[in-house]
Amino acid sequence: MKRNRFGFFGAAAGGAIFDIVRREGPISRAQLGRTTALSKSTISLHVDRLLKVGVIKEEARQTDSGPGRRSLLRFATDRGIVVGIELGVTSIDVAVCDLEASVLASYSETLDIAQGPVPVLTRAYEIIEQLLTDVGHDPDADRPMPTLAGIGIGLPGPVNRTLGCVVSPPIMPGWDRYPVRDEVATHFDVPCFVDNDVNVMALGEARAGSARDSESSLFVKIGTGIGAGLVIDGELYRGFKGSAGDIGHIGIDGERTLCSCGNRGCLEVVAGGAGIARRGRELADSGASPMLAEAAARLADESPPREISAVEVGLAASQGDTAALELVIESGRHVGSVLAKLVNFFNPQMVILGGGTVNIGDAFVAAIREMVIRRSTQLATVDLVIRRSAFGEQSGMVGAALMVVDEVFSTRAVTAMVREFDG
């Protein structure tokens, strides 16, 4: 990221320099000088302070050209650990990470969010405590090392970040306005941050994943439902009330299926994982898809009996079932036609596709890509990169961990650390 005019002074300059080291490091003092246009002595002054505060580290590196070593600065990622949690509708994923979100220990299990906040958080506490023990964190020590810097949680509903809770979630009975953030922060006596799951994933991809080198990106999660997260100039854009990127209920022309929101023909009820599964069952029932009919009969005999999901539709499509393949391609085109509108409007550098339904087959992703390219303006797509999530199934918990790092080591927070050190 280029900063032509470095408008920071005093402790704030330290905070801003830390931000550059965190995002662009390892970086030399000379490079910092070029990026900020600050003098060598001013850079030295701030760097020395940041080294003493302990938020950056210096390491010697062999130079690429010729003999000799030079010293590079980087974020002190071993200074603490963070916990990232993805709460899904039917699952919980928890990771303990270092400060660059390398996973040190993780655990996943099925957990029904409809049980309500108290049983779900109680179970989450047990998992967190076990994982912290696994990585050698002892909360009873005089000075617990490694230090737990905070806990981040991605939630599958609309999140009010000011209140730290979900608001009127359609699929989370008992969670409406329950103070998730404050409960967790109090239980562990560390800062806690919450956001909706898609924003958390978009942030993770922007900081350490597929969109690491992009200024602007659009992360699209296609799971049971469909949602998007926007990153603009390297920062998550949440909108006025936090609902930016809620694309699942954009209407698809000519579609009439009733959606849980009360409208008809919404993108997610047509082309999300649940929509694909529903239409797959229709193909099985009508006999239009012999493979899906066979799969439906087989799953009904399992104990407990199951129904066709998007996974079976993708499998049938990849094995040559014409009706299933048409369904996969049509669903991908619906997603792609909505994304084309967003690409035209927003002109991102990168579109990242995540969520379990993306894995139902290459035909699905190919259809999305085809529609985005076909229906967007040439200028918007000429250098547009469309790729899958770098973190795959870990993207929720890794993103939640990176949300904590973003908050605890924000420019403002580090400025305050420098000021406290000076004072």
Please, which residue, 266 or 360, has the CB nearer to Zn ion? 266
Q: Which is nearer to Zn ion, 111 or 252 (CB)?
A: 252
Closer residue to Zn ion in complex, CB, 120/259: 259
Query: Which residues of this protein are in contact with Zn ion, per CB under 5 A?
Result: 249, 259, 261, 263, 266
Least distance CB 260 / Zn ion (angstroms):
6
Least distance CB 338 / Zn ion (angstroms):
13
Give 7 or 262: the residue with its C-beta nearer to Zn ion: 262
Q: How far is the CB of 248 from Zn ion (least distance, A)?
A: 7
**What is the closest distance, in whole angstroms, from the C-beta atom of residue 339 to Zn ion in the complex?**
17
Instruction: Name the minimum Å distance from CB 267 to Zn ion.
Output: 8
Please, what is the minimum distance in Å from the beta carbon of residue 269 to Zn ion?
Answer: 6
CA 192 to chain centre: 16
Kindly tell me the sign of the dihedral angle through the C-alpha atoms of 133, 135, 139, 140: positive
When the beta carbons of 145 and 171 are compared against Zn ion, the nearer one is 171
Q: Which is nearer to Zn ion, 186 or 263 (CB)?
A: 263
